[in-house]
Amino acid sequence: MRNASIRPRRLLAAAALALASVAVAAPAPAEAASPPPLCLKEYHLMPFPGSIRAYGYKSCDDGEPVPLYVSLQRYDPASGFWHKVAEGVGEARFNCFGTGQRIYRHAQKPELTVTANCT
């Protein structure tokens, strides 16, 4: 009788071992996809003789820079508001027609300001 009860246990142990080896032999899951490219939006505001220019580009580590929509604003001290004076894709340019001092800012990155003799 003792042998009869040992055999089913051995069969169960052998079956469990066979299943475990099948699970180990299964193919590993596919590797995760590579991470997306690192991209940065770059904004610049620069005074030039006779103009103020705002620039905007999206630069990724896997390709060429892509121009972004940008607009240039001028502060109106009488009203306290910023008014759009130029817009474009990649560059917005405001050509000066006077020498009065004004404050300009990049609309997409308002902390970029410049004071220039450009009205």
Render pLDDT for 18-76 as a digit per residue (tens, 0 to 9).
554 444 445 556 667 888 889 999 999 999 999 999 999 999 998 899 999 999 999 99
Q: Is residue 94 part of a domain?
A: yes
Q: Is residue 34 part of a domain?
A: no
pLDDT given for residue 77 in this prediction = 95
The number of distinct structural domains making up the chain is: 1
Q: Is residue 112 part of a domain?
A: yes
Domain assignment of residue 65, given as a range:
39-117
Please state, in angstroms and rounded to a whole number, the distance separating the CA atoms of residues 18 and 108.
64
Give the least confident one: 6-10, 30-34, 66-70, 86-90: 6-10
Q: CA dist 106 to 67, 77, 100, 101, Å?
A: 15, 17, 19, 17
DSSP state of 98: S
- 118 burial level (CB within 10 Å; 0-12, 13-18, 19+): buried
Q: Supply the pTM of this predicted model.
A: 0.69
Q: Is residue 13 part of a domain?
A: no
Give the CATH number of the domain where residue 94 resides.
2.60.40
